Structure 1
């Protein structure tokens, strides 16, 4: 803990934040393990492949509407926090701006970039939306509480955090663009994506998203943001593992050297 205290703020005097640091991170990590074991949130290719076996009485949304509902509350949480508290510490401003930009990009991608051919179950929409909204709101709230403490971490990681965030958001967008090019207008079948890091891993967009979340953690330097970044990495690792397994099962010509998330490793 002495070493950790060099890099992060002390835990704030808030039972809510301290409990949510453990609970929310644990839930996200457990969902990631469930993804790896084959129990998926009901969207994307996993929904398409299992739709025939799911409860037909469940209420579904179009994937585009579902993803907007998933992202907009978190985006609004960031925008409202900027509006309510405009003149603040540089660290808080950087964190809130990065979160707003992250979800603004996601909404633009949903509206103008991604091609959808499936549905989303409402329970999955609610789960994803609540997770993004609550983590964004708590991350910002925790930062406010931390700024009231007597000292900042001796080692300042804000600049590194901004660098990680920029690398993550640019890399994520680039590989989302490549994914959007795998299917022509009107096509609904999945294809093996190519270009960029797709030659080495099947989920480079997830890798760069993990980098983004560690960018948030380094900008923030709170225990909550750090725990949530690790939990997000576990979730996306599980999702990546399941994605590679799905591609291997669907395409006989899937290149065996292409890993899930980390080139040559995993």
Structure 2
């Protein structure tokens, strides 16, 4: 991709070593984590939680709230810290706040849990979400005073974000309906895009973050979104292999995350 093309839809990189370093670190660490997931070295949550591990654990519900709540509060705080930063900043902060509010809402009222989370995985994921949210907000703040990119993607970004968050919520809801009251065992998901891929909620999460990147049009959100994409590709690949190992009747034509492709 040529520099001229990048300049047509990205704000100029701010003179900030922190933002530049975080762009590289987020992309590299998330991509490497996705590679480890595909190789079988998982963050210890959901179906990959090791019940035999002697490490410190918390309940899955408590762990999930720890993951998402600080990032949600960072989004809320941004409205007070930067009250007059323009429409693009308002849309970005709103999208991030809504994203993590939805996560907390699902933890409290939608998801059904059957296990625990290893504390060090909770800390790692919480830091990733919180630091990335704060960095996106700060990176957007630093675009103040720069001319707008020639190609305006923010309204397309809002549309993609809404499709992503609605699709993600719908498939999380379908997952929650798999278990009856008191049931803890896993089942093969059905309905929606689960008939095509085993992790459609990941696909819609990526779409939501692409929307956030388009709203922002700053470098860091694109770096984070690309790294997240590689991480979720690795996690979905591992998830598909897990279902194949646990269920003899798992349909072989169901892909990991991208219908008909992967």
Which of 13, 16, 23 aligns to 1:14? It is 16
- Number of corresponding residues: 260
2:235 and 2:145 map into 1 onto residues whose CA distance is 37
In the alignment, is the contact (CA less than 8 A) between 2:26 and 2:223 conserved in 1? no
Deviation at 1:51, TM superposition (A): 2.5
Q: What SS class does the counterpart of residue 95 from structure 1 fall into? A: helix
1:95-153 alpha-carbon deviations (Å, 9 max, x no partner) = 0000000000000000010000010011000000000000000001000101232x111
Which of 109, 128, 131 aligns to 1:131? It is 128
Deviation at 1:29, TM superposition (A): 1.1
2:232 and 2:145 map into 1 onto residues whose CA distance is 33
In the alignment, is the contact (CA less than 8 A) between 2:85 and 2:141 conserved in 1? no
Q: What is aligned with 1:51?
A: 51
2:152 and 2:188 map into 1 onto residues whose CA distance is 41
Q: What is aligned with 1:191?
A: 187
In the alignment, is the contact (CA less than 8 A) between 2:199 and 2:256 conserved in 1? yes
In the alignment, is the contact (CA less than 8 A) between 2:89 and 2:216 conserved in 1? yes
Q: Unmatched 5+ residue regions in structure 1? A: none
Q: What SS class does the counterpart of residue 218 from structure 1 fall into? A: helix
List structure 1 runs of 4+ shifted beyond 3 angstroms. none
Query: Is 1:145 matched with 2:147?
Result: no
Q: What is aligned with 1:175?
A: 171
2:33 and 2:85 map into 1 onto residues whose CA distance is 35
2:145 and 2:37 map into 1 onto residues whose CA distance is 39
1:31 and 1:86 map into 2 onto residues whose CA distance is 36
Q: Unmatched 5+ residue regions in structure 2? A: none
Deviation at 1:88, TM superposition (A): 2.3
Give the alignment's TM-score, normalised by structure 2: 0.98
Deviation at 1:84, TM superposition (A): 2.0
2:181 and 2:207 map into 1 onto residues whose CA distance is 31
Q: What SS class does the counterpart of residue 143 from structure 2 fall into? A: helix
Deviation at 1:2, TM superposition (A): 1.3
Q: CA RMSD in A?
A: 0.7
Deviation at 1:69, TM superposition (A): 0.2
Q: What is aligned with 2:198?
A: 202
In the alignment, is the contact (CA less than 8 A) between 2:165 and 2:204 conserved in 1? yes
Q: What SS class does the counterpart of residue 215 from structure 1 fall into? A: helix
Larger mean CA deviation between 127-136 and 19-28 belongs to 19-28
Give the alignment's TM-score, normalised by structure 1: 0.96
Q: What is aligned with 1:113?
A: 110
